[in-house]
Structure formats: structure tokens, C-alpha cells
Chain A
Amino acid sequence: MTITEKILARAAGRDRVTPGENIWVNVDVLMTHDVCGPGTIGIFKEQFGKDAKVWDASKIVIIPDHYIFTADPHARRNIEILRAFVKEQGIKYYYDPDFLQSEGMPSPYIDPSKTHYKGVCHIALPEEGHTRPGEVLFGTDSHTCTAGAFGEFATGIGNTDAGFVMGTGKLWVKVPPTMRFVFEGELPEYIMAKDLILAVIGEIGVDGATYRAMEFAGPAIYQLGKIAAGYDHPANMEERMTLCNMVIEAGGKNGVIAPDEVTLDYVRQRTAKGHVPQEFRVVHNDPDARFCYEKVFNVTNMEPRVAKPHSPDNKATVREVQGTPIDRAYLGSCTGGKITDFIAAAKVLRGKQVRVPTFIVPATTDIQRGLDEFKLNGQTLRQVFEQAGCIIGPPSCGACLGGPLDTLGRLNEPLTCISSTNRNFPGRMGHKEARVYLASPLTVAASAVEGVIADPREHLAEG
């Protein structure tokens, strides 16, 4: 069996499962947030009764992250629904935006280490030790697949499924066959996980992995994060997360990477805080594991890539589109708003000026703090970005998915934007006629400096 099949078999209490089978699995962690939580809670109460208790209050993680920095009264009301539910049910893991006032645009807190708020759920989950090898994680968000980077089964579900899990701790799943993507060769410093996953999606298309698991393997996986070499930071893990994060953009059910010492170091450090379970089970492919597809990429001569409007599989190399005018650059989200992403961007932006409005939106409060802690030639990342003329926002999902009209960086007009985020279907970042190019943080930063799509290699060479 493959990693995915073995995890699902254990969760179903079975010795073996076969791709295509429908099985009921026991859930280790259920995650929800402010956009899908209220609807999920509504379904849970409708189906199990208004006084019903969740199946296990210590296995539900609630992370408000989507619509935090907005004056929208419904968005604020949704946080109140989450708070009331957490209190009523005794939910153990809840990361409250405790700085919110009753109305108006919230004034950001002064010190991100003094709030319970975390920010983007897919990055907050691993930071707080909620992602552990061998487990089954469901979340009411399509990018829940990010957690496959930790060698677990993680996928996105809707409100009904989440309401079902809340009441029963179980869910039916169809066992997916596994596609295997192997990265070989010597990874150049200018190639990031984003380039790799755009290459994969360009190869198989936005529906190429529908109903399938996507496993990433090969020596180049373990070289990812070179751009942040020398920093005391798990850059390699963050890059693996970026790789798994975008499997949904190929239609994939889950992404997975076999755990190794890098994974275990990361997980042990975060679970050692003691408030989350510390037991987990490392799962590897059996020697007889069967894959429904296998593709080898050699990364040695790989070029930086983009996805052109309006689809993540509308592939091109940066070279093919360089010189294309842009109106805006955006660095943020679960895909491209981590410390590694910002170290990469800072290496390009240091000592330069951006020519188009450029937004920096850290995924979480930990990352926001990191902007003041990590340095490049004596300057903090924040100083680099401020001197380059970037606009730095507070952590949340931000404009990646558009959101309420007052969301920082939202494309309220039909602009052209280059973005380190994950999706560029029409209307994703706001206006339905806006054009979004997806690229690595290095490419986004180089393009911000030139005001046109630009090759990061030239900018790194200068540094």
C-alpha cells in the first residue's frame, strides 16, 4: 500500500484498503474557520440537536483567519458565533482575534506575541503542533491539503461533512489512487517549491489529479528552501508545505510527502509545548506500493515559472512572459506568505524600490513577528520591505480570495497583479475582469521592482 492507503486503512480499522473503495474513517483532527464554521455549527445543531455535544472537544481546532481586518458587521458576527460555540462546547483549541472591537475596522494590536490570534489556518495548524504524521485531518477549506507535507492524510471538506464529523468523529471517503512526482537533480537557488508545483499543474492540468492523491518524492524535495539557507528557520518544511498546498489546484484530494528527520524535528519541537498529543505514527510506502502515474522532473535546468490568467495550469516560463506590464504585486497567503517566502522576496527587494503597489501580508502572527526578527545584512525583513516602499498588512487570508470590499490589497478594479498566492480563476482576488499571474515570491519581488514581469535570476545575481 501507499502512504495514503496505509493511513486510511488504519483510520478505518482495516488491514488493507484498495483505491476506489468507499470506507468510513475515524478523524484525528477537524479544523474550521470563520467563513465555514458558522454554517458547520448550524448543520451540526440542526442534525444532532441544539443541546448536542461534539464528539470530542479536544479534536476540534477553530482558527478564525479569513475576514478579520474588515469592518463588515456580518464578518464580526461570525466571530461571535465561533466564540459562543467554543465556550458552549469547551473546544480545546481556539485562536481568538481578541483585539476586535464591536464595530469598524479593527486597529491592529501592537505586539503580535500578546494576542491569541494566529492567522491563516493552514500555517497556524503546524506552528501549533496540530499536524502530525500518520493522522487524518479534515478541514473546511480546500487548502487543508497543505498538511500532507507532514506525512498525514489531510483534505478539504464542506460544511455538511464537517457537521457530520462534529457529531460522529467519522466520515466516508473514497480511497484515492496515488500519483507520484519525483524531483531529481541539483536544485538551483532561484527555484522555489512554487515553481515546482506550477510545473506539475502545468503538466497534468487543473483536473489532472481529480480524486487522486499526489505524492512528492526524490532528492530535490529535501534541497528545497536553499534561498533561506543559513537562517535558523525550517525553510525546507515550509517549502514542502507550499508543494502540498497547491495539489487542490490540480484537483488532487491530498498531497503527501514521506516524513523524515526534518519532518520529525519540526513536529517534535511544536508538539513538545505539551498541550497537543505527542504520539504519532510515521508511515512510509510499502515496497509493493502501486502508483497510478509516475513522472520524474529534473530540476537542475528548471526555469522560474508563472501561471498566466485565468487558470493555474495556464503555464509559461518567466522568460516567455517577461516584460508583461503589471499594476500590482502581492506576497501573502498560506501558499506564499511564510518566512521562507519573505526571506526570498527580501533578497530581491533589498536596496531597491518597487515600481507598483506591493503588498506584504504574513500568514500568521508568528510570521509577522519573524519580519522583525530575521535579518538580511543587518536589516530586518520589515526594514527591507519598508525601504523598498511595500505596504505591510496584518496576518490573514487577505486578498488571496478577494474577501469583503475593504480587504487590504483586494483587486477592486480590473488590474493586472502578480501574486505569490494559489489561484487565478476569474474574480478570485476581487474584480472578475482582473488578471492574476501566479509566481514564486522571488519572481513576484523581481516583477515589483521592474513594474513588469521579471526574471528573479538577474536580481539575485546583483545581490
Chain B
Amino acid sequence: MKATIRGKAYVVGDNVDTDQIIPARYLVYNPAIPDERKMFGRYALSAVPTAQAGLPQGGVPFVKENADKSEFAVIIGGKNFGCGSSREHAPLALREAGVEVVVAEFYARIFFRNAVNGGYLIPFETDERLCEKIRTGDEVEVNVPAHTLKNLTTGEAFALKPLGDILPIIEAGDVFAYARKSGMIP
């Protein structure tokens, strides 16, 4: 687990569901095949309606055309991030695009589990409505052990919620590493 994650922020609003994170038409690709796995990065967040894509101004593509990686490493969302389908392709797509941390007010349950158990990214929660306080393109730094986010562009700092129950899984890497560490599986 990295102690700090630094990069450009990409800001979206409330109820960004898994169909917006990775549209169903791309689920034909098999994440277990490396060449196909890359496609999820290419199409990550491609179905967010244009006006809500990269707040506050909108109209910012998360991944540039024909690229597999995003220039943004941190997603800032509102309420209920990752609602909708159970597709693990959603946190996987964000990770493939280069995202290591999402900060939202709270998450839909299955997305949260998938992000943690699959070891794709760290889903931080916060009481602050950061999607209205941070602008797409701001340089931010997340301090994982201290659970804080600093906006390096504006100098503002925000407290995030402690990771709590999920911290041991994040520290281990994923649910398999956690289960091995605790002796549950060989």
C-alpha cells in the first residue's frame, strides 16, 4: 500500500453508476486476457454525460481518444459512487486507466467491495462535498495513513474518513492475500 498518492483530480457528481464507469457493450472483453484488459482503461468513464464529465466545467474526456490511460490519477465523486450493476469491470477499468484512489461521500455497496477485495483502488469516504470544492485538473495529494487530502493547486486540506474494517484487506493487497495472511486459505 502506497502512503501517498499524488496526481490530477477528475471530478464527477452524484450517482455515477457502473454503466457510466464502463458501458455494458465493452463487457464482452475478458479481464483475464491482458490485451483485452487494457480496453477497460480505454473506455473508463466514457458514458458519463458530457455536461457532467469533469466538473465544474464539463466536457472533459477522462481518457483521450485512442489512449489506454488517463492523465487523472484521483477521482472525486459525490454520493453513491458506483451504484448499479455488480460488474467488477468498473473498479478494474478505473485502475487500468491509472486511478489509484477515489474519494466520494459514500459508495454503493458492491462497487466498494469489489474495489477493496479485488485490490484495484482505495475507496475513501468523506463528509465534505469535495465534488463542489475541487476542480477537474487540480493537483491533489492523498495521504493514506493520515486519511487526508490536500489540494496542491489551492492549498486547501480536507479530512477523509478512516478506512476502518477494510484497512487490513487494503494493507494485505486484496482479499486473497488477506485470507492467506490470516491462515484461512493456503
B-binding residues in A (CB < 8 A): 22, 24, 35-36, 38-39, 41-43, 45-47, 66-67, 72, 74-75, 77-78, 81, 140-142, 144, 156-161, 164, 167-168, 170, 172, 174, 206-207, 210-211, 248, 251, 253, 310-311, 401-405, 423, 425-428, 432-433
Q: Which of B57-65, B111-119, B130-138 is the interface stretch?
A: B111-119
Give Cα distance in the complex from A285 to B125, angstroms.
33
CB pair B19 A433 closer than 8 Å: no
A144, A156, A157, A158 — most chain B CB neighbours (10 Å) = A158
In the assembled complex, B148 has its CB within 8 A of some CB on chain A: no
Interchain residue pairs A-B with the least CB separation, the first 5: A42-B32, A158-B88, A158-B114, A156-B86, A74-B28
CB pair B106 A210 closer than 8 Å: yes
Give Cα distance in the complex from A251 to B33, angstroms.
31
Besides the contacts A157-B110, A428-B84, what 19 more A-B pairs have beta carbons closer than 8 Å? Answer: A35-B27, A39-B31, A156-B110, A157-B86, A159-B31, A160-B114, A160-B118, A160-B175, A160-B176, A161-B175, A210-B80, A401-B19, A402-B19, A423-B19, A427-B20, A427-B49, A428-B17, A428-B19, A432-B48
Closest CB of chain B to A412's CB: distance in Å?
10
Closest to B176 in A: A47
CB pair A74 B29 closer than 8 Å: yes
Which residues B53-105 have CB closer than 8 A to chain A? 79-80, 83-89
Q: Which of B36, B80, B114, B185 sits near A161, CB closer than 8 Å?
A: B114
Given contacts A74-B28, A168-B185, A432-B47, contact A206 B80 (CB under 8 A): yes
Q: Which of B24, B31, B106, B110 sits near A402, CB closer than 8 Å?
A: B24
Which residues of chain A come closer than 8 Å to B108, judged between CB atoms?
Answer: 207, 210, 251
Closest to A310 in B: B49
Q: Which of A36, A38, A207, A253 sits near B87, CB closer than 8 Å?
A: A36
Range, interface on chain B: 35 or more
Give Cα distance in the complex from A433 to B49, angstroms.
7
Closest to B120 in A: A160
Give Cα distance in the complex from A45 to B33, angstroms.
12
Q: Which of B28, B84, B113, B176 sits near A67, CB closer than 8 Å?
A: B28
Which residues of chain B come closer than 8 Å to A207, judged between CB atoms?
Answer: 15, 79-80, 83, 106, 108
CB pair B32 A39 closer than 8 Å: yes
In the assembled complex, B157 has its CB within 8 A of some CB on chain A: no
Closest CB of chain B to A400's CB: distance in Å?
9
CB pair A251 B28 closer than 8 Å: no
In the assembled complex, B3 has its CB within 8 A of some CB on chain A: no
In the assembled complex, B174 has its CB within 8 A of some CB on chain A: yes
CB pair A39 B89 closer than 8 Å: yes
Which residues of chain A come closer than 8 Å to B87, judged between CB atoms?
Answer: 35-36, 158
Give Cα distance in the complex from A210 to B81, angstroms.
11
Closest CB of chain B to A77's CB: distance in Å?
8
CB pair B31 A141 closer than 8 Å: no
Closest to A73 in B: B28
In the assembled complex, B2 has its CB within 8 A of some CB on chain A: no
CB pair A251 B80 closer than 8 Å: yes
Which residues of chain A come closer than 8 Å to B19, judged between CB atoms?
Answer: 401-402, 423, 425-428
Q: Which of A78, A206, A253 sits near B109, CB closer than 8 Å?
A: A253
Which residues of chain B come closer than 8 Å to A174, judged between CB atoms?
Answer: 165
Which residues of chain A come closer than 8 Å to B174, judged between CB atoms?
Answer: 160
CB pair A39 B30 closer than 8 Å: yes
In the assembled complex, B23 has its CB within 8 A of some CB on chain A: yes
Q: Which of B33, B47, B83 sits near A427, CB closer than 8 Å?
A: B47
Closest to A410 in B: B25
CB pair A425 B20 closer than 8 Å: yes
Given contacts A160-B114, A206-B80, contact A43 B28 (CB under 8 A): no
Which residues of chain A come closer than 8 Å to B1, judged between CB atoms?
Answer: none
Closest CB of chain A to B64's CB: distance in Å?
18
Closest CB of chain A to B54's CB: distance in Å?
15
Give Cα distance in the complex from A427 to B88, angstroms.
18
Given contacts A158-B114, A167-B185, A425-B15, contact A141 B88 (CB under 8 A): no
In the assembled complex, B179 has its CB within 8 A of some CB on chain A: yes
Closest CB of chain B to A83's CB: distance in Å?
14
Give Cα distance in the complex from A24 to B183, angstroms.
14
Closest CB of chain B to A248's CB: distance in Å?
8
Give Cα distance in the complex from A160 to B19, angstroms.
19
Closest to B116 in A: A160
Which residues of chain B come closer than 8 Å to A157, judged between CB atoms?
Answer: 86, 110, 113
Give Cα distance in the complex from A211 to B165, angstroms.
14
Which residues B6-57 have CB closer than 8 A to chain A? 15, 17, 19-20, 23-25, 27-33, 36, 47-49
Which residues of chain B come closer than 8 Å to A432, judged between CB atoms?
Answer: 20, 23, 47-49
CB pair B28 A427 closer than 8 Å: no
Closest CB of chain A to B113's CB: distance in Å?
7
Closest to A72 in B: B28
Q: Which of B47, B83, B113, B119 sits near A426, CB closer than 8 Å?
A: B47
Q: Which of B32, B36, B165 sits near A41, CB closer than 8 Å?
A: B32
Give Cα distance in the complex from A77 to B35, angstroms.
15
